[in-house]
Amino acid sequence: MADPSASPSEMPPETPGPAEMRDPMVRAEFKRALIWVSVVIGAALIALLAQPILLIVGGVVVACMLDGGTRLLGRVLPIARGYRLTLVLLAVVAFIGWVAAFAGSEIAEQAAQLPAVIEFQIDRISNLAARYQITAGADDLSSLAGQAMSSLGQVTMAVTSVIGGIASLAMICVLGIFIAAEPRLYERGFAWMLPMAERGHFYGTLEKIGWTLRRLLAGRLLGMFIEGVGTWALLAIGGVPMAALLGLLTGILAFLPNIGAIISGVLIVSVGFASGTGTGIFALFVYLAVQAIDGYVIVPMVAKKAVDLAPALVLGAQIIMGALFGILGLALADPIVAMIKVALERRSARTAQKAAAGATPGLLLGSSSAATAPPTR
Q: Which residues contact 74 (CB under 8 A, 6 or more apart)?
A: 81, 84
Mean pLDDT per block of 10 residues along the chain (377 residues) reads: 55 59 70 84 79 87 90 87 90 82 64 68 70 57 50 45 63 89 88 85 89 86 86 86 82 80 83 81 88 74 66 81 81 87 88 76 48 53
The identity of residue 66, as a single letter, is L
| CA separation, residue 4 to residues 11, 12, 16 (Å) | 9, 12, 20
User: What is the model's pLDDT at position 155?
Assistant: 45
pLDDT for the residue 151: 44
**Model pTM above 0.75:** no
Please report, in angstroms and rounded to a whole number, the separation of the first and last CA atoms in the chain.
Answer: 70
Report the candidate in 176, 207, 212 with the shortest Cα–Cα distance to residue 63.
176
pLDDT at 162: 44
- Rounded to whole angstroms, what are the CA distances from 356 to 40, 125, 297, 318, 367? 34, 63, 39, 37, 15
Residue 373 Rama label (left phi>0; alpha psi -120 to 50; beta): beta
**Of 265, 261, 268, which is closest to residue 236 (Cα–Cα)?**
268
pLDDT value of residue 87: 92
What is the 3-state secondary structure of 217-247? Answer: HHHHHHHHHHHHHHHHHHHHHCCCCCHHHHH
* pLDDT for the residue 90: 92
